[in-house]
């Protein structure tokens, strides 16, 4: 399978689900145990689990449709799928490209977060992402200052022009990369579909973007947040939550080290290098996964203090869990 830009930056352990690494379809015999399927999309392991007490055939049909939807969205939003909407825009040399309504919707959301953050996150980061290529290749190198400067010169969300069902980039050298927001959008669409099928209890896990539908047997799901300092992946803290999105971003999942310094994939658009932050991980708890996806990246780049101020001013409806470089955990509610 082709690698793509939708790989999320963290792992969240779902303690209510024990088959995250098993690539299989299983039917569980006891009532209220999940009917689950695990696979690979977006260059990461994904898992859908239904806790409702419904027939196996019905669960299978619904989960199969979820997997079809993931394939559909990967084919629209991936920067490295050759005929995706995003790839066609990036190859269009500034010409208008007709795209799907979903692509227009996602780009509108991405541009909205770029405006809200004054460009700290930006959908036109593609050339810089390609330049560093962290996590997408075994070739790890630090780009030259000239290369970084040239890539940064193409980053400008105001040059993304949406007109009806078309998209064009004012700078023909610019490139889109929606990795900071796409999986959140997809998780929300999967939830929307499952709710249309009257599913009342489920877990959507898109490689770290976790979306909870309802509760587990009337109780909160227990969500273990990975300790970014523990190579064995044991949880640092556990959240009890129902009917929310939980998304993390950090510096520990995709990185390389050179001369004792870690270079991770969350890039600062102020200088073109991996963001210097006092944090190793940020977890956002929100109602919509698209918000958690964008905000987790944004808050990591901002660092703990500025992130708390940003959330207090702009998104008091969400809360964050900050894990610093020493593994200390604080909350912003």
pLDDT of residue 137: 59
Strand 166-169's sheet: what is its strand order?
97-98, 166-169, 160-163
- The CATH H-level (homologous superfamily) assignment of domain 1-333 is ApbE-like domains (3.10.520.10)
pLDDT score at 32: 61
Contact yes or no for 131/147 (Cβ under 8 A): yes
Neighbours of 87 (CB within 10 A): 21
pLDDT band at 57 (very low <50, low <70, confident <90, very high): very high
Whole-number pLDDT of residue 158: 98
* Percentage of residues of the chain with pLDDT beyond 70: 88
Task: Compare 138 and 202 and report the one with higher pLDDT.
Answer: 202
The span from the CA of 214 to the CA of 199, in Å, is 9
Q: Tens digit of pLDDT for each residue in 194-246? A: 999 999 999 999 987 999 999 998 999 999 998 887 877 778 789 999 999 99
* Residues above pLDDT 90, as percent of the chain: 74
Handedness of CA 292, 296, 299, 304 (dihedral sign): positive
Instruction: Give the model's pLDDT for residue 256.
Output: 64
78-128 pLDDT per residue, tens: 998 999 999 999 999 999 999 999 999 999 999 999 999 999 999 999 999
pLDDT averaged over every residue in the chain: 88
Is residue 183 over pLDDT 70?
yes
Alpha-carbon torsion, ordered 296, 263, 139, 88, to 10 deg: 30
Sign of CA dihedral 254, 204, 13, 331: positive
Most confident option among 36-45, 248-257, 284-293: 284-293
Give me the mean pLDDT over the 22-37 stretch: 54
Tokens of 204: 């959507």
What was the pLDDT predicted at 134? 74
Question: Could you tell me the pTM of the whole model?
Answer: 0.89
Instruction: Return the sign of the alpha-carbon dihedral for residues 81, 86, 88, 94.
Output: negative
Whether 10 shows a pLDDT value over 60: the answer reads no
Least confident segment among 237-251, 256-270, 319-333: 256-270
Helix (H) or strand (E) holding 44: strand 44-50
Q: How confident is the model at residue 186 (pLDDT cuts 50, 70, 90)?
A: very high
- SS3 category, 147: helix
User: What is the distance between the alpha carbons of residues 321 and 284, in angstroms, rounded to a whole number?
Assistant: 7
Q: Is the pLDDT assigned to residue 8 strictly greater than 50?
A: no
Q: What does 151-201 look like in DSSP terms, one character per residue?
A: HHTT--GGGEEEETTEEEESSTT-----TTTHHHHHHHHHHHHHHHTT--S
More confident residue, 322 or 13: 322
C-alpha triplet 9, 15, 17: angle, nearest 5°: 90
Residue 22, pLDDT > 50, answer: no
Residue 2 has pLDDT above 80, yes or no: no
Secondary structure class of 279 (helix, strand, coil): strand
Q: What is the pLDDT of residue 136?
A: 65
Q: Which residues of 95-117 are buried (b: 16+ CB within 10 A; e: fewer)?
A: ebbebbebbbebbebbbebbebb
The arithmetic mean of pLDDT across residues 280-297, rounded, is 97
Predicted confidence at residue 179, as pLDDT, reads: 93
CA of residue 312 relative to chain centroid, distance: 22
Return the SS3 of 86. helix
Question: How does pLDDT run across 106-120, given as a tens digit for each residue?
Answer: 999 999 999 999 999
């Amino acid at each position: 399978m082709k690698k793509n830009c939708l790989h999320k930056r963290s792992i969240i352990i779902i303690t209510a689900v024990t088959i995250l690494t098993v690539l299989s379809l299983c039917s569980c015999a006891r009532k209220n145990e999940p009917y689950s399927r695990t696979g690979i999309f977006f260059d990461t392991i994904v898992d859908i689990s239904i806790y409702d007490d419904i027939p196996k055939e019905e669960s299978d049909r619904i989960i199969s449709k979820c997997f079809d939807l993931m394939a559909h969205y990967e084919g629209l939003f991936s920067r490295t799928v050759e005929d995706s909407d995003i790839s066609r825009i990036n190859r269009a040399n500034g010409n208008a490209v007709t795209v799907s309504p979903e692509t227009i919707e996602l780009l509108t959301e991405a541009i909205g977060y770029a405006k809200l953050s004054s460009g700290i996150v930006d959908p036109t980061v593609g050339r810089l992402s390609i330049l560093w290529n962290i996590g997408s290749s075994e070739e790890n190198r630090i780009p030259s200052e000239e290369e970084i400067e040239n890539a940064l010169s193409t980053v400008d969300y105001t040059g993304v022009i949406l007109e009806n069902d078309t998209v064009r980039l004012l700078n023909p050298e610019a490139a889109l990369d929606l990795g900071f927001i796409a999986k959140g959008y997809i998780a929300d669409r999967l939830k929307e579909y499952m709710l249309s099928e009257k599913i009342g209890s489920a877990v959507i896990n898109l490689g770290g973007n976790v979306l909870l539908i309802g509760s587990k047997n009337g109780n909160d799901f227990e969500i273990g947040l990975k300790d970014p300092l523990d190579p064995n992946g044991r949880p640092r803290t556990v959240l009890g939550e129902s009917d929310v999105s939980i998304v993390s971003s950090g510096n520990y999942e995709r990185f390389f080290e050179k001369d004792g310094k870690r270079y991770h994939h969350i890039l600062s658009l102020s200088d073109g290098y991996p963001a210097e932050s006092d944090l190793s991980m940020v977890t956002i708890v929100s109602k919509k996964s698209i918000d958690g996806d964008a905000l987790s990246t944004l808050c990591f780049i901002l660092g703990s203090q500025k992130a708390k101020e940003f959330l207090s001013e702009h998104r008091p409806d969400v809360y964050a869990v900050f894990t610093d470089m020493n593994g200390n955990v604080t909350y912003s509610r």
